[in-house]
Structure 1
Amino acid sequence: MAAVAAEIFLAVALGGLLVAAVRVLDALVLRPRRMRLYLQRQGIGGPAPSFLLGNIPEMKRIGLSKPAAGVAMSTDTRFSHSWPYLLFPHLEQWRNEYGSIFMYSMGNVHLLSIIDADMVKELSLCTSLILGKPSYLTKDLAPLLGEGIITSSGTFWAHQREIIAPELYLDKVKGMVNLMVDSTSLMLSSWESKINEAEGGSVEIDVDGDVRNLSADIISRACFRSSYSQGKEIFLNLRQLQKVMSKRSIGIPGLRYLPTKENREMQKLEKDIQSKILEVVRLRKEAKEERAGDLLQMILEGAEGFGENEGLPSHFSLDRFIVDNCKNLYFAGHETTAVTALWSLVLLAEYPEWQDRARDEVLAVLGNGGIIDSDKLRSLKILTMIIQETLRLYPPATFLVRETQDIFEFKKIFIPKGLVIQVAVPILHQDPNIWGPDALEFNPERFSNGISNACGAAQAYIPFGLGPRTCLGQHFAMMELKVILSLILSRFQFALSRSYRHSPAFILVIEPGNGVPLCMSKL
């Protein structure tokens, strides 16, 4: 009897192993091959992938033939803005070889790259939940983003959007201007103190850390009724996690499960971030305040209605719902705005004629020490043009990605389930066929008559995303940028330090790779 039982157990085990092997074979070999053949029959080409790694080895080979990412692109006064072709040379090479629509793979993530304004317009018009965020975001980037508003899909995303969006409508953002002014004024006072202590009325300040801390303080006060000092460790841990994750290739099967130094560090940082966010939540609940009316309150109330909504993942807990959405807001609301403010300062310092024009406008509209409100900020046309041009040349979100939840017809192309549609934003933003012969130049004047008249295809300008997944915080970000830049312009003159090296780096967002040292003096 025991021998029979052993034979049955062995047969079941072997059968299970066989089923698992077939599934692995299908996921890693057969399914990708079917996808490629399906697209090839529709006239879409692309480089042939290798087993497990996809086209990652070829991407690295192409990159070795170009200047290294993060290395200074130019030491000249007028530096180049053509960084996308240096950081992502494989996209330019494959576009030249296969056209504006091509397929490639990063490990087991299979992408359809689109660098075509008409196709992007069609994509922006699609409101179906059949296009969601890629599953690799909630796997490979899980420690940083989890399954919050940025990475979720379907009805689960719709539920989160319903909770968060109303708190970031323009009428709500207008009421946050005063706290933005208060936070910014504290930073500027510290700069003035440094200048007063220096000889000659000028001092070099690397503003990178200060601007990041300022952005963190603003998002904390606006959305969580706390300050940067209270959430400092959360932001520092998120920043460190961002740096670690930017070094790791996505899509390689099983990589995130290996006991590597990076994976262990990510796990530790993720646990620390979670515990600190839950501590913020605990303190809020214990305070028993009246309805706070901020985003944290909305997230907590949304968590209370968690079980009443259909389409929510069964593996989700209330704590995870709260933590993931707080992480999304901390990261997206802080990091992207901070790097845009930094690039704006770099460009204003590099192009002093535009700095002077913007300052003249700011002083005329806001006055010297006058009260700043949303109506006055809306009147800053030149500053708005400068911010828009900064977002064109240095969009913080490098790629817009969508994954098909089922077979999907798109401009007479049938896209199989599970394929990731990828839009390379900076390459689209710098395409001479769309923006004209000065596409690689800093020229805010192109936005003088609005975004719709700035180029040959308005849908090609997508710094805040597209379609129903357009960034919920774009009004907040634009208001914050106007407050920060207008206050700096009204109190300081600044130029790039001789030590500045123009080196855009991809650390999940595009940021200055070697800081932003400015020579600053008071007006």
Structure 2
Amino acid sequence: MDFDQEDGKNMMMKGIWVNVVVLVTIAIATKLVLQLWWRPRKVAKHYSNQGIKGPPYNIFIGNMKELVEMMLKASSQPMTLSHNILPRVLPFYHHWKKLYGATYLIWFGPTPRLTIADPGQIREILSTKAEFYEKYESHPLVKKLEGHGLISLKGDVWVHRRKTISPIFHLENLKMMIPIMGKSVAHMLDKWSLISNSGKVELEVSEWFQNLTEEVITRTIFGASYDDGKKIYQLQAKQIVFAAESFQKVFFPGQRFLPTKRNRTTWKLDREIEASLMKLISQRKESLLRRREEEEGVGVGVGVRVRDGGEGEECHRDLLEILIEASMSNNNNKNTSEKKITDNDIVEECKSFFFAGKHTTSNLLIWTSILLAMHPQWQQLAREEVMRVCGARDIPTKDDVSNLKTLSMIISEVLRLYPPVVATIRRAKTQVDLGDINIKEETELLVPILAVHHDTTIWGPDASEFNPSRFSQGVSRAATHPTTFMPFGLGGRQCIGQNLALLQAKLAIAMILQKFTFEISPNYKHAPTVLMLLYPQFGAPIIFRSL
């Protein structure tokens, strides 16, 4: 009898567990059906009723298979020396636009994504109604490199941080860096002259410009602590190489957590970078406290620094100093719980600005050199202007750089044709009207910057041609719509470092034009492609000749 009761209890428990498993399985299956089939159908119908179509949704993978196939095919071989790069760089947009129009729906897995290329709607997303949209989360590998700083922050924390950092990137503060930038460029050009054979040399300029911008961004961030900062960023440069290699391999969720040899190396680099930055922050805090005491004692002005050589001279304020001062002043802020800047925040900002600043500016220099090499008539016009404005000065002054109007037009045209970021993504935080489109919550909106920059209805029939004169009346009058030029973004989240990038590019190109003429090497293969930013897939070999 007891055995029968025990067996009965066991049977009952087994029955309960079977029922639990069945219920859990049904719940999971139901959720998957809702997420992977019912919800996409409902979203597709919502947009279809508004006249918005797109390629059909495939369960779980969406349109990823077709998209990846188009990207791989487009990048499989170089193109002709043409600036009509949209079919190669954004082949999926180019292809589906022809079938469904400029606004269409695609699927990244089960996530809906609308492409938005209308200037008025883009302005709403990025500027006038930006509060309804949030920044898209970066790929895990990119997020690791860019740090959890201003680039990825949101809401009130982002507002406060941007306000804190903005003074560093005011143009007048950056102009104080021109002598330092100029020395770095001059040092690079001296090396070019030394390695030239009979006044002629072929250079792969990518690495040269990356080293140059690395030096300048390190001085922008660390100032007087440049030597220590350089050692830290040599470590981060290694991280970037690892990430670039990883992007070219198959990536699956959770891979970055596995203890592979590559991951163990990057984890070690992480620890070294953080420890070095923390040590440097501590040293600079002590130095700032000592300097404050000295300045209060002798009445030294805030805008003057006494350099190692002993001469008082005006110089720029660096990012590290401003962030440390902000963190030290939190004690007097009633809202420190919301806005306090910690040492860890400073670490993340230093990582963010090195990653973004180095690659954005170096890419601008690379493409400007390529396009001037491809268009010798504009190279000569820019050189004549540089010689006229700068004269025999080895390093142009801040007034010289401001007066290089033709060079400014050229750089704007380079940024139009070859923007560093070819597209940007936002996510709707709530259901919202965008022009005449009703956007469902959590729909992602893709703004194809490159496509907008090459649109003939906006820029004219020569939209895919290199014509810097279109900017002769300024950026706002270059196109039919004033907000369609957005190489550094648009609205409140516009790249805070754009003044630094433009200033450094103008100075470097001006100094190159003073000493060299240059042309495309026969070894150059025109192959713009995207790996985080737009870059030449097979490098940028250019032939330089001394003047």
User: How far apart, CA to CA, are the structure 1 residues paired with 2:410 and 2:488?
Assistant: 16
User: How far apart, CA to CA, are the structure 1 residues paired with 2:384 and 2:355?
Assistant: 34
State the Cα distance separating 1:386 from its structure 2 match.
0.6
8 Å CA contact 1:256–1:263 kept in 2: the answer is: no
- 170-179 vs 347-356, which moves further: 170-179
User: How far apart, CA to CA, are the structure 2 residues paired with 1:303 and 1:32?
Assistant: 46
Partner in structure 1 of residue 248 of structure 2: 247
Structure 2 counterparts to residues 261-410 of structure 1, below 5 A: 265=262, 268-269=265-266, 272-273=269-270, 275-287=272-284, 288-290=286-288, 293-300=317-324, 305=330, 308-310=336-338, 318=342, 321-369=345-393, 371-410=395-434
Partner in structure 1 of residue 145 of structure 2: 144
Partner in structure 2 of residue 458 of structure 1: 482
Count of aligned pairs between the two proteins: 505
TM-score by length of 1: 0.87
Higher Cα Rg: structure 1 or 2? 2
State the Cα distance separating 1:263 from its structure 2 match.
8.2
State the Cα distance separating 1:388 from its structure 2 match.
0.4
The residue type paired with residue 248 of structure 2 is K
User: How far apart, CA to CA, are the structure 2 residues paired with 1:122 and 1:146?
Assistant: 28
State the Cα distance separating 1:377 from its structure 2 match.
0.7
In the TM superposition, what whole-angstrom CA distance separates every residue of 1:123-143 from its partner, at most 9, and x where no partner exists?
3432543311113x2656432
User: How far apart, CA to CA, are the structure 2 residues paired with 1:24 and 1:270?
Assistant: 35
Quickly say closer, same or farther: Cα 1:156–1:245, change in 2 above 3 A: farther
Quickly say closer, same or farther: Cα 1:346–1:262, change in 2 above 3 A: farther
Considering only aligned residues, what root-mean-square deviation do their CA atoms show, in Å? 3.2
State whether structure 2 residue 122 is matched by structure 1 residue 120: yes
User: How far apart, CA to CA, are the structure 2 residues paired with 1:69 and 1:417?
Assistant: 34
Quickly say closer, same or farther: Cα 1:128–1:388, change in 2 above 3 A: closer
8 Å CA contact 1:246–1:506 kept in 2: the answer is: no
User: How far apart, CA to CA, are the structure 2 residues paired with 1:96 and 1:172?
Assistant: 47
Partner in structure 2 of residue 236 of structure 1: 237
In the TM superposition, what whole-angstrom CA distance separates every residue of 1:413-432 from its partner, at most 9, and x where no partner exists?
22122111111111111111
In the TM superposition, what whole-angstrom CA distance separates every residue of 1:466-510 from its partner, at most 9, and x where no partner exists?
111111111111111111111111111111111111111211111
Quickly say closer, same or farther: Cα 1:352–1:324, change in 2 above 3 A: same
1:58 to 57, 66, 71: 66
State the Cα distance separating 1:465 from its structure 2 match.
0.4
Partner in structure 2 of residue 83 of structure 1: 85
Structure 1 gaps, min length 5: none
Quickly say closer, same or farther: Cα 1:151–1:376, change in 2 above 3 A: same
8 Å CA contact 1:46–1:103 kept in 2: the answer is: yes
2:136 to 123, 134, 137: 134
8 Å CA contact 1:244–1:266 kept in 2: the answer is: no
User: How far apart, CA to CA, are the structure 2 residues paired with 1:139 and 1:381?
Assistant: 40
Partner in structure 1 of residue 185 of structure 2: 184
User: How far apart, CA to CA, are the structure 2 residues paired with 1:26 and 1:289?
Assistant: 59
User: How far apart, CA to CA, are the structure 2 residues paired with 1:138 and 1:320?
Assistant: 22
State whether structure 2 residue 540 is matched by structure 1 residue 516: yes
8 Å CA contact 1:212–1:335 kept in 2: the answer is: yes
User: How far apart, CA to CA, are the structure 2 residues paired with 1:151 and 1:162?
Assistant: 15
- 264-273 vs 343-352, which moves further: 264-273
1:412 to 436, 442, 451: 436
Quickly say closer, same or farther: Cα 1:300–1:274, change in 2 above 3 A: farther
Quickly say closer, same or farther: Cα 1:188–1:156, change in 2 above 3 A: same
In the TM superposition, what whole-angstrom CA distance separates every residue of 1:211-253 from its partner, at most 9, and x where no partner exists?
1010111000111232574244234224314413543689xxx
State whether structure 2 residue 44 is matched by structure 1 residue 36: yes
User: How far apart, CA to CA, are the structure 1 residues paired with 2:40 and 2:90?
Assistant: 23
Partner in structure 1 of residue 219 of structure 2: 221
Structure 2 counterparts to residues 173-212 of structure 1, below 5 A: 173-195=174-196, 198=197, 200-212=198-210
SS in 2 for 1:256: coil
8 Å CA contact 1:149–1:157 kept in 2: the answer is: yes
User: How far apart, CA to CA, are the structure 2 residues paired with 1:55 and 1:214?
Assistant: 40
In the TM superposition, what whole-angstrom CA distance separates every residue of 1:438-470 from its partner, at most 9, and x where no partner exists?
111111111111112212222211111011111
Quickly say closer, same or farther: Cα 1:106–1:365, change in 2 above 3 A: same
State the Cα distance separating 1:277 from its structure 2 match.
4.0
Structure 2 gaps, min length 5: 1-5, 292-316
Partner in structure 2 of residue 71 of structure 1: 77
- Give the share of equivalent positions with the same residue, in percent: 29
User: How far apart, CA to CA, are the structure 2 residues paired with 1:341 and 1:246?
Assistant: 24
- 239-248 vs 489-498, which moves further: 239-248
- 139-148 vs 470-479, which moves further: 139-148
State whether structure 2 residue 485 is matched by structure 1 residue 485: no
State the Cα distance separating 1:148 from its structure 2 match.
2.3
Quickly say closer, same or farther: Cα 1:399–1:256, change in 2 above 3 A: same
The residue type paired with residue 98 of structure 1 is Y
The residue type paired with residue 275 of structure 1 is E
TM-score by length of 2: 0.83
SS in 2 for 1:101: coil
